[in-house]
Chains A and B, each alone.
Chain A
Amino acid sequence: MKLTLHIWRQKNASSPGKMVRYETDANEHMSFLEMLDVLNEGLIAKGEEPVAFDHDCREGICGSCGFVINGVAHGPLPSTTVCQLHMRHFKDGDELYLEPWRAAAFPVIKDLVVDRSAFDRIIAAGGYISVSTGSAVDANALPVRKKDSDMAMDAAQCIGCGACVAACPNASASLFLSAKMSHLGLLPQGQPERMERALNMVAAANEGLFGSCTNIGECEAVCPKGIRLEFIARMNRDFLKAAWTFRQERVESD
């Protein structure tokens, strides 16, 4: 199959980018990234700079890959990362526009590669639990309601790819934030830090230049892991409760 690609080419973070047109051949068994690999082989042979894109496991679980195909993050197939998107879902003669995630929080490093360390700073702000190291507690000593553990597992599916931010018209990280908060907040181990987690992660997202959630659901539609809007409501609940009941710690000197 023959494809016409329009790819965002940007030399580095400080230079302006532009869309560049390429013609390429692909077969239906290739993944989208393999199709780009073939394009890059050709570019290298011609002495041109290959298209830079993020990738690692190529089995849809690491969260490294992802860009926008024809205006949809991770492309047209629901619940799929670009590495798991196969060319059989496209037609001969298709014209595809490939762009990086666009958000102030995710500056472009090169071509389709963006810097997602804003997500790391959000995790550092509250996406953890404190446990005593040493001998592990007997797992069965701490009962967890089945429905809670199922929901926590659903939230824990989040691979932090950033598609939610890319798809959101407000560039909000709410789906990511809420997945991390729900994953921990639904389990007993996540309770001690639950309120501080909500305050601190939301504050970190604000400092990271992410936008506000307007409940429109674009994020849910593109999420490769099926994280639901319901988790955002759960985050809102935690945050509002924490914000209303917050007590400033008083440190007395002497």
Chain B
Amino acid sequence: MSAAATALTGKSAERFRFWDSPIGKKAVMAATGFILFGFVTGHMLGNLQIYLGPEKLDAYAEFLQQTKGLLWGARITLLICVALHVTAAIQLALLQKKARPQAYVKKTSAGSSYASRTMYWSGPILLAFIVFHLLHFTTGQAHPDFQHGAVYRNVVTGFQSAPASLFYIVAMLLLGAHLYHGIWSMFQSVGINHPKYTPVFKKLAALMAAVLVGGNVSIPVAVMTGLIR
């Protein structure tokens, strides 16, 4: 037997493939992250129609609700993406705990961004935020005065609560941090890194993170300051 054969023994010889490896899981996280990033971008662009007035926004919401097949197709796709993204993240976090059982007495970061080191924190908080966000503006249980279909009105009354607005703003800052690392990292995970393109990806990641934070945070801020009423 060659040394190569001895590395793959027993169960791993049959099963150690794509999903079983950290690289495969990271590729899944990259692909699902890409889809989720596409969604938050589209979601923000749709939401910014709030500045065009209640008629525009409510008509857009109704248009999305009209094509049930498309709506549920998108919802199911997003749900699968979130499930895969979270499952891989949990499994990799558990692997991390196993791989570094004893922490350093003193640890200094030598070359990584704060955003990249806090992905395991920004991720779960964002997940909690998504649940709250759905209960707040989609199903209404977390909303003080929810009316189905009256999107503009629900947004305005929802963001008049300071704690809710604050949570949105904090969550969006975390989304920005998550994407600041995530948007370029997804290319690295699937094997794309080149001195010509990677710096562009990193700049693009910073730009898109800033645009998404700015666009989304502007809405609760506009409500709180009375710009939108």
Contacts and interface: CB of A to CB of B under 8 A. Distances in A.
A125 to B, nearest CB: 3
B21 A206 contact: yes
A215 B189 contact: yes
Contact of B6 (A125, A199, A230): A125
A119 interface: no
A196 B16 CA distance: 12
Given A72-B110, A244-B18, A236 B185 contact: no
Interface residues of B, number: 52
A19 B87 CA distance: 37
Interface centre among A199, A213, A214 (most CB of B within 10 A): A214
Contacts of A243: 17-18, 21, 23-24
Interface stretch (A46-54, A97-105, A131-139): A97-105
B29 to A, nearest CB: 9
B112 A206 contact: no
Contacts of A217: 111-112, 116
Nearest to B110: A221
A99 B104 contact: yes
Interface string B99-116: 111111111111111001
A207 B9 CA distance: 10
B22 interface: yes
A214 B95 CA distance: 12
Interface string A219-246: 0111000000110111111111001101
22 contacts: A71-B104, A71-B108, A103-B99, A124-B3, A126-B3, A126-B4, A126-B7, A128-B3, A171-B100, A196-B4, A202-B23, A203-B12, A209-B99, A210-B99, A212-B22, A212-B26, A212-B92, A213-B22, A213-B26, A217-B111, A230-B198, A243-B23
Interface of A: 6, 8, 19, 68, 70-73, 97, 99, 102-105, 121, 124-126, 128, 167, 169-172, 193, 196-197, 199-204, 206-207, 209-218, 220-222, 229-230, 232-240, 243-244, 246, 248
